[in-house]
């Protein structure tokens, strides 16, 4: 497969009065043409900061890319000027944010908002952009485009606004689309529709997608590979099958244990992850998850674990994979989750069942 994005040793910090917040600490991942990579983790794990850094949307000051490479089609985006990035954003890389109302201009008709990137990046005439904008509205499932283009954002429902944002993001057929929790603010029925829409559009234009979410329930239906983030680092990465059927990191176990499923009959069976995420002004020594893990060993508090290879596609940052580590089994509820997962991921089973939209 062809790599369109290759992130190497990315560090992102924010310089605040209280000190330097090391929000992203040595992140490595890649994205191949036409695939979907889901990045999952709790709030504060660094997933949104990572993706905003890819688009160079980190406000400086206080934020900065401290170190690392963001190779997009072989070109490092990290040192580019703002003017150079403006030629890439919206044209070759696009982003869908969590709340569509923060992305749409409330004073501008949506037709003009869709036409803008087409005229700027594709150099289309006003008439050509108008025609293409109408086609995009139909593509994302909004009928009567001529009427819709004359309306303002407040005249649409939340799900319709998110469809408009998707249309804007896909207007120039970007090579990479970043979706930052695009369904969190929507109810489960609309959420499933938006996820299905993104899958259909991806097949049509062959765009690679980075899907950011705190909710593992939607991942099985949209992703090819999954990267689990904690404390500003990727602690486990693998295919969807590997993350759901053979998770190895205690934090991944914790996320799966707290995910409702048809096989969890009683609320008591769900397990919350104890404690709180680490203070990234003073990152913990050793394994960042050690203080919250019942499986932590002495070495977890002293040395940061390396990245262990489980398979060609599965990597885990945990001392539990060391050859001298004691053998531990994942919690029973993680095994139950395996049985409740769909055999194939084409049908949206988990997206609408017991999903936390918060």
pLDDT digits (tens, 9 = 90+) for 219-231: 888 899 999 999 9
pLDDT at residue 340 tops 60: no
pLDDT on residue 262: 56
The rounded percent of the chain whose pLDDT value lies above 70 is: 90
Q: Is 164 within the bounds of a domain?
A: no
Q: Are strands 315-316 and 233-239 parallel, antiparallel or unpaired?
A: antiparallel
Spatial separation of the C-alpha atoms in residues 161 and 142, rounded to whole Å: 10
Three-class secondary structure assignment of the chain = CCEEEEEEEEEEEEEECCEEEEEEEEEEEEEECCCEEEEECCCCCCHHHHHHHHCCCCCCCCEEEEEEEEEECCEECCCCCHHHHHCCECCCEEEECCCHHHHCCCCCCHHHHHHHHHHHHCCCCHHHHHHHHHHHHHHCCCCCHHHHCCCCHHHCCHHHHHHHHHHHHHCCCCCEEEEECCCCCCCHHHHHHHHHHHHHHHHHHCCEEEEEECCHHHHHHHCCEEEEEECCEEEEEEEHHHHHHCCCCHHHHHHHHCCCCCCCCCHHHCCCCCCCCCCCCCCCCCCCCHHHCCCCCHHHHCCCCCCEECCCCCEECCHHHCCCCCCCCCCHHHHHHHHHCCCCCCCCCHHHCCCCCC
pLDDT on residue 329: 86
Half-sphere exposure of 249 (CA within 13 A, CB side): 32
Q: Is 239 within the bounds of a domain?
A: no
Q: Is 82 within the bounds of a domain?
A: no
pLDDT digits (tens, 9 = 90+) for 307-334: 999 999 999 999 999 999 999 888 877 7
338 confidence band (pLDDT: 50, 70, 90): low
Q: Is 323 within the bounds of a domain?
A: yes
Which residues are paired to 238 by β-bridges? Answer: 226
Identify whether the C-beta of residue 340 lies closer than 8 Å to the C-beta of residue 263: yes
pLDDT on residue 164: 93
Q: Is 272 within the bounds of a domain?
A: yes
Neighbouring C-beta atoms of residue 358, cutoff 10 Å? 7
Q: Is 14 within the bounds of a domain?
A: no
Q: Is 20 within the bounds of a domain?
A: no
pLDDT on residue 330: 86
What domain range includes position 334?
Answer: 254-352
Q: Is 80 within the bounds of a domain?
A: no
Q: How many domains does the chain have?
A: 1
Q: Are strands 75-76 and 233-239 parallel, antiparallel or unpaired?
A: unpaired
pLDDT on residue 215: 78
0.75 surpassed by pTM: yes
pLDDT digits (tens, 9 = 90+) for 102-140: 889 999 999 999 999 999 988 999 999 999 999 999 988
């Amino acid at each position: 497969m062809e790599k369109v994005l290759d992130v190497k040793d990315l560090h992102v910090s924010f310089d605040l009065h209280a000190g330097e917040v090391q929000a992203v600490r040595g992140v490595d991942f890649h994205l191949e043409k036409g695939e979907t990579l889901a990045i999952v983790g709790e709030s504060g794990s660094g997933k949104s900061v990572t993706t905003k850094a890819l688009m160079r949307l980190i406000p400086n000051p206080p934020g900065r890319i401290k170190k690392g490479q963001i190779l997009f089609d072989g070109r490092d985006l990290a040192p580019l000027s703002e003017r150079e990035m403006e030629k890439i954003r919206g044209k070759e890389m696009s982003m869908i944010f969590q709340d569509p109302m923060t992305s749409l201009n409330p004073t501008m008709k949506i037709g003009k908002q869709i036409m803008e990137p087409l005229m700027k990046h594709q150099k289309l005439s006003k008439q050509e952009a108008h025609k293409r904008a109408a086609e995009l509205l139909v593509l994302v499932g909004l009928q009567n485009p001529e009427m819709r283009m004359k309306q303002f954002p407040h005249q649409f429902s939340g799900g319709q606004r998110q469809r408009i944002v998707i249309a804007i993001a896909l207007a120039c057929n970007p090579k990479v689309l970043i979706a930052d929790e695009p369904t969190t603010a929507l109810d489960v029925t609309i959420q499933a529709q938006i996820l299905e829409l993104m899958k259909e559009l991806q097949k049509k234009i062959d765009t690679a997608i980075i899907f950011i979410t705190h909710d593992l329930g939607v991942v099985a239906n949209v992703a090819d590979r999954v990267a689990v983030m904690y404390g500003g680092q990727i602690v486990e990465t693998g295919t969807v099958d590997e993350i759901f059927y053979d998770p190895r990191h205690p934090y991944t176990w914790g996320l799966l244990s707290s995910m409702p499923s048809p096989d969890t009959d009683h609320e008591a069976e769900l397990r919350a992850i104890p404690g709180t995420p680490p203070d990234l002004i003073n990152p913990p020594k050793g394994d960042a998850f050690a203080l919250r893990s019942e499986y932590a060993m002495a070495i977890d508090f002293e040395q940061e674990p390396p990245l262990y290879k489980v398979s060609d596609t599965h990597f885990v940052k945990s001392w539990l994979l060391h050859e001298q580590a004691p053998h531990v089994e994942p919690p029973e509820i993680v095994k139950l989750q395996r049985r409740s997962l769909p055999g194939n991921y084409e049908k949206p089973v988990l997206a609408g069942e017991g999903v936390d939209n918060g």
